[in-house]
Amino acid sequence: DIQMTQFPSTLSASIGDRVSITCRASQSISGWLAWYQQKSGKAPTLLIYKASTLESGVPSRFSGSGSGTEFTLSISSLQADDVATYYCQQYDSYSKITFGQGTRLEIK
Backbone φ and ψ of 13, nearest 5°: -145, 165
The number of residues that bind other proteins (CB under 8 A) is 24
Looking at residues 48 to 107 of the shown chain, list those that interact with other proteins (rule: CB under 8 A).
49-50, 55, 87, 89, 91, 95-102
Q: Count of CB atoms within 10 A of residue 1's CB?
A: 10
Question: Which listed residue (11, 23, 44, 75) binds other proteins by CB under 8 A?
Answer: 44
Q: Count of CB atoms within 10 A of residue 16's CB?
A: 9
Binding site for other proteins (CB under 8 A): 1, 32, 34, 36, 38, 42-46, 49-50, 55, 87, 89, 91, 95-102
